[in-house]
Amino acid sequence: MPHFDDFYAAKLRGGLGQADADAILDLRGAHAAQALASLDALIESSRFGASKSVAILLDPPPEGGGETLFQPVGRSLLEARRKGFVSRLNPLPAHDGLGFYAQFAGQSRDGDGA
C-alpha cells in the first residue's frame, strides 16, 4: 500500500468537515421554515464580515424514508454560491453526518462584497 502525505490521505478519506469549520450551524430538529430563515440570516450576515467556514448540520432521513432539509438547504447555498457569497461548498464527510461545509466569501478589503 502506498504512503500518502497527511494532506492527500485526508483528501481520500473525505472532504472538509466539522473539525475544519470556523463555526457550526446546527439545523437538526428545526422545522423547514425556521431552518431556511436561519440559513438566510447566516448568508446575509456573512456578506458583511470576514470570510469564514461553516459546517451546516442536518437531520438524517426519518426511519422508513421521508423528506429532509438537504435539498432546500442545498438549493439556498447553491444560489448563494451563484451570487458569489459562498466560495466553496461541499457535503460533509460521512463521519460528520448529513450536512454541508460552506466557505463564505465575506467582504473584500476594498469594501465590495466578494
Torsion, Cα of 97, 34, 66, 75 (10° steps): -70
Q: Which residue has the higher pLDDT, 110 or 61?
A: 61
* pLDDT tens-digit map of 18-73: 999 999 999 999 999 999 999 999 999 999 889 999 999 999 988 888 888 999 99
Residue 112 lies in a domain: no
Q: Find the CATH number of the domain harbouring 88.
A: 3.30.1370
Is residue 17 very low, low, confident or very high in pLDDT (cuts 50, 70, 90)?
Answer: confident
Residue 114 lies in a domain: no
Please count the structural domains in the chain.
1
Residue 114 has pLDDT above 60, yes or no: no
Residue 109 has what pLDDT?
A: 47
Q: Tell which residue, 52, 40, 111, has the closest CA to residue 80.
A: 40
Residue 6 lies in a domain: no
Q: C-alpha cell of 42? A: 447566516
Residue 62 lies in a domain: yes
Residue 1 lies in a domain: no
Residue 10 lies in a domain: no
Domain range for 43 is: 16-104
Residue 110 lies in a domain: no
